[in-house]
Amino acid sequence: MTAYYQLLRRDLTGSLPAPQWPADTHLDHYRPALAPAIHAVLRMTQEQGGGRVANLEAWQQQFLSDAEFDPTLCLVASNAEGILGVAQCWTSAFIHHLSVHPCAQGQGLGRALLLHSFQVFKQRGEPYVDLKVLESNLRARQLYERAGMVFVLRDVVSEG
């Protein structure tokens, strides 16, 4: 069966809603000491449609070798229990991964990370931000659409 993704876009030129963070949530960004925990959340959620995540060593190396990987654009939400969510964004105004730990899903954390990502790109002077979502991932698509993202195109998910 052929799988499809949708490319969605959010215009950043107008006003943006402020993120509403769950209680006791702290915002940080990628740094090597957090890498294993960040990576674990990304890998845990990839089965839910979060895309492919390289093994830890290769993923960490991308922060040093790939211009798309900016540590300040890997947004991390945590509380006293640990890392709850990650929005890994690329320098090309693209949200590569938006992952929320299963224990924190349904509490508004994904929406807060998404809205915060919009603000970060707006502050960088970007006119819009894009992401891809599996067409079958209805929960994620609803989140993105409620946050003002609009359909741009549909394409076949490539294997490999």
The reply to whether 138 falls in a domain is no
pTM, rounded to two decimals: 0.94
The reply to whether 35 falls in a domain is yes
CATH number at residue 101: 3.40.630.30
Q: Work out the average pLDDT over 39-43.
A: 93
Tally the domains of the chain.
Answer: 1
90-148 residue pLDDT tens: 999 999 999 999 999 999 999 999 999 999 999 999 999 999 999 999 999 999 999 99
The reply to whether 160 falls in a domain is no
124-138 residue pLDDT tens: 999 999 999 999 999
* HEC-encoded secondary structure of the chain: CCCEEEEEEEECCCCCCCCCCCCCCEEEECCHHHHHHHHHHHHHHHHHCCCCCCCHHHHHHHHHHCCCEEEEEEEEEEECCEEEEEEEEECCCEEEEEEECHHHCCCCHHHHHHHHHHHHHHHCCCCEEEEEEECCCHHHHHHHHHCCCEEEEEEECCCC
